Amino acid sequence: MPDAGGATAKEMGRVVEGRGAWVAAGTALALLSISYGSPLLIVIGLKPIAADLDAQRQVISLAAALAWVGTGLGGILMGWIADRIGVRRTVIFGAVMIALGLAVSATGKIWALYVGHGLLLGLLGNGAMFPPLLVYVSRWFEHRRGTALALISSGQYIAGMVWPTVFEHSIDRFGWQATMVAYGIFSLLAIPPIAWFFLHPAPEAPALSAADGRMRRRGSVLGLPPNLVLAILATAGFCCCVPMALPQSHLVAFCTDVGIPAATSAMILSVLQASAFVSRQFWGWLADRVGGLVTLMCGSACQALAISAFLLTQSEAGLFAVSAAFGLGFSGIVPAYVLIVRELFPSSEASWRVPTVLFTSMGGMAFGSWFAGALYDHYGYYAPAFTVGVAFNLANLTLIGFLLARQGLRGGIRPAIA
CATH code, domain with 317 = 1.20.1250.20
Residue 400 within a domain:
yes
* DSSP single-letter state for residue 124: I
Domain presence at residue 1: no
244 within some domain: yes
d(CA 202, CA 209): 17
Number of structural domains found in the chain? 1
Cβ atoms of 395 and 239 closer than 8 Å:
yes
Q: How far is CA 28 from CA 88, 279, 354, in A?
A: 11, 19, 17
Of 381, 383, 372, the residue nearest 60 (C-alpha)? 372
Domain that holds residue 103: 19-409
pLDDT at position 31 is 96
pLDDT (tens digit, 9 = 90+) per residue, 372-405? 988 998 999 899 999 999 999 999 999 999 999 9
In a domain, 153, yes or no: yes
> Cα(42)–Cα(179) distance, rounded to whole angstroms?
11
| Backbone φ, ψ for residue 224 (5° rounding) | -125, 160
Nearest to 148 by CA among 60, 17, 36: 17
pLDDT value, residue 7: 40
Judge whether 300 lies within some domain. yes
Average pLDDT score over the chain: 86
Per residue in 167-194, pLDDT tens? 999 999 999 999 999 999 999 999 999 9
164 domain residue, yes or no: yes
Q: Which is more confident, 219 or 328? A: 328
Q: Is the pLDDT of residue 5 over 80?
A: no
Which pLDDT belongs to residue 183? 97
Residue 222 lies in a domain: yes
Q: Is the pLDDT of residue 276 over 80?
A: yes
Residue 8 lies in a domain: no
